[in-house]
Amino acid sequence: MDFNEEYRQFLSVSKTERTFTDNSIKLAEEAGFVNIDSVKKIKKGDRIYSVNRGKNICLFVIGSQPLTEGMNILGAHIDSPRLDLKQKPLFEKDGLVLLDTHYYGGIKKYQWVARPMALVGVVCKKDGTVININIGDKPGDPVVGISDLLVHLSAKQLEKPGRTVVEGEKLDVLAGSIPAKDEEKEPVRKYFLELLKNEYDIEEDDFISAEIEVVPAGEARDYGLDRSMILGYGHDDRVCGYTSMRAIMDMKTPKRTSCCILVDKEEIGSVGATGMQSRYFEQTVIQLLEMQGFEKLSDVSRTFRNSRMLSSDVSIAFDPNYPEVMEPKNSAYFGKGICFNKFTGRGGKGGSNDANPEFIAKVRRVMDDNNVMFQTCELGAVDVGGGGTIAYILADLNMDVLDAGICVQNMHAPYETVSKADVYEAYRGYAAFLKDMD
């Protein structure tokens, strides 16, 4: 319960990859980690973090063995589905000012209307200054949101398939309605622009170089009368990110170097400089190898070949409301511990990292030796759907990788649910893996 309360508070203020990264840096520094840019040489027990473009963080606790003997790696992603403001978002229509969005990741669009939303992100000005935006979460803040059609006039809308009940171009955020005084042309837009200028020092053109995410407003909450669960925005996959990060923060001097990599862009294919496919991780490990006196290319490949990884992402919690999409024997259940997926993907395991049983056996041993409760599962029944993770990308470096994680209900909805017991067991499982995997 105590651990989960810390997670609940962290999640409530970490609604974007950037804010997650910023808050992680604070925790890491409190736990004695130092920025890699201030480090010249490394020795066992050193605690180091590296940040990539403010959206992607990597932590290391240097082991007593040389890096080339391999690392024990925990990975997760810290981006979540949401609505992003477009680069030209602002328009006035029928006396209202609206902000146009483009959704990010896989969402059921009808879930994102008629609810309080916050605006979180950055506006980057031409002179190099960066304005942090965070409106809607502090007590007394205004919120924004997207309107939904009243049920009284929805007869036609409700006949549409779910996919088109609310269409992507209709996800426009209502942001204001006061007109500027004595203004003939678009007075509400004029008033809104003045407000942006006065309160935030933002000009309309600055949206071109902005990244503002429209996310559910408000805190994550204890769920259930017994408070056994947490309902919150962005458990996928910050719940695995947070628990992995907490596990590495507990490490003292391991035998094998501990690593925790938290990446962006998983929800859109792990692309870009801050996604898992980026060379950033490799570059950071090379930086560490150089600080340990290794310089050959073969040292790099040896390090990865000898490494082992738990690639964590949320799994699907069995939902009694929708049993038909699951296969009960191979499903994850709330309260039964950390999940291991031998494979993910869709169809005939397409797009998955199908973990080696030799490696899975070692993971089982480590979990059992440390009394960690675990379960195994698939992402739904065969041919119903599926999903991917970052596991196969790390496996490309020729290391052993197993998909792990915490199961959630209503994945990708504005509010997702996890079991506190699973959150805690995952944290314990990650700590055991860092400590005892060899």
> Which residues form the interface with Mn ion (CB under 5 A)?
236-237, 313
Least distance from Mn ion to the Cβ atom of residue 314, Å: 5
> In 3D, which of 383, 424, 426 has the Cα closest to residue 403?
426
Q: Residue 94 — left, alpha, or beta (φ > 0 → left; ψ -120 to 50 → alpha)?
A: left
Least distance from Mn ion to the Cβ atom of residue 385, Å: 12
Least distance from Mn ion to the Cβ atom of residue 77, Å: 6
> Does residue 417 contact residue 4 with C-beta atoms inside 8 Å?
no
Quote the tokens at residue 257: 């170097």
Least distance from Mn ion to the Cβ atom of residue 76, Å: 8
Nearer to Mn ion, 192 or 318 (CB): 318
Least distance from Mn ion to the Cβ atom of residue 11, Å: 14
User: To which H or E segment does residue 299 belong?
Assistant: helix 297-305
Nearer to Mn ion, 305 or 346 (CB): 346
CA distance 256 to 203: 51
Quote the tokens at residue 81: 């589905």
Nearer to Mn ion, 36 or 314 (CB): 314
> Does residue 225 contact residue 135 with C-beta atoms inside 8 Å?
no
Nearer to Mn ion, 62 or 314 (CB): 314
> Does residue 94 contact residue 188 with C-beta atoms inside 8 Å?
no
Least distance from Mn ion to the Cβ atom of residue 154, Å: 29
Nearer to Mn ion, 236 or 299 (CB): 236
Nearer to Mn ion, 106 or 347 (CB): 106
Query: Angle at CA 423, nearest 5°, toward 418 and 428?
Result: 165
At residue 399, the 3 state secondary structure works out as: coil
Distance in Å from the first CA to the final CA of the chain: 31
